[in-house]
Amino acid sequence: MTQQERLLYLIQYLIKENSRYSGIKIPRFAEEQKRLFRSLMNVRPPEPVTDEFLKVQDAYLAEERDQRGVVSVSELSMMQEGICLWKGDITTLRADAIVNAANRALLGCFVPCHGCIDNAIHSASGVQLRLACRRIMEEQGRDEPAGAAKITEAYNLPCRYVLHTVGPIVQGEPTETDRMLLASCYHSCLELAADYGVKSIVFCCISTGEFHFPGEEAAKIAVEAVKGFIRADDRIQRVVFNVYKDADFQIYRKLLGDNQCSY
């Protein structure tokens, strides 16, 4: 199959499996087709798919991953011992683990093509990630609490694992509980990652987007938590703070120093 043939197969599969989508017409242009496929993935409940679907999906997502390009965190310059800063798409980073800013349901973002990191990670990983998260939640039997962490395979991402953590949702000014929960997100991820033999981990900006934690204060908490862990535990050798916005990049650059950083 060509990449175009894979894309059409995947779209047709997802349309056919749900009678409500019978009226959907497949767009003519490739970019619109890609957007439709991602939308269908995003809204799809965590239900089983065929082995053939997974085979085609994995081949398609692998090709898309290679076209975007992959950056190894081992190539990033350290700003401080064990700590790097990188601005870009977290789904392109090759590391032992990346951290997803999840919600309490832990099933990913169901809003078609939403701009949150939860959506981006699930879209690039494939339908297996939502299925893996559903198994965790079924076993747990309750919503994921803020400040904890779970781990899954990464499937079609260039990393090995995805850590899922739920940050505090801030209403107005952050409370002391909000600050403690945010710090706990970092500590929980680092502890769990280290237990799985992770040597390199990439953090997104937890709670600063849809959850409204002020960016500068969140960054200070993040840096303090990571530095504290590194001082006390040598199991993780490289921590990357990944940012997408230039404002966040400048915040972390100021906190970590202007020595070395990467785009």
Q: Which helix (H) or strand (E) holds 17?
A: none
- What integer pLDDT is reported at residue 262 of this predicted model? 55
- What integer pLDDT is reported at residue 212 of this predicted model? 83
Strand order across the 78-80 sheet: 78-80, 83-87, 238-243, 200-203, 97-101, 161-165, 150-153
Tell me if 183 sits within 8 A of 79, measured CB to CB.
no
pLDDT tens sequence across 34-58: 999 999 999 999 999 999 999 999 9
pLDDT tens sequence across 92-101: 999 999 999 9
Among 226, 231, 183, 182, residue whose Cα is nearest residue 207: 182
* Whole-prediction pTM: 0.95
- What integer pLDDT is reported at residue 261 of this predicted model? 55
State mean pLDDT over 210-238.
94
Tell me if 220 sits within 8 A of 180, measured CB to CB.
no
State mean pLDDT over 153-158.
99
pLDDT tens sequence across 182-215: 999 999 999 999 999 999 999 999 999 777 899 8
Determine phi and psi for 129, rounding to 5 degrees: -65, -45
- Spell out the domains of the chain, with CATH numbers in brackets: 3-66 (no CATH), 70-256 (3.40.220.10)
What gap in Å lies between CA 85 and CA 73, rounded to an integer?
10
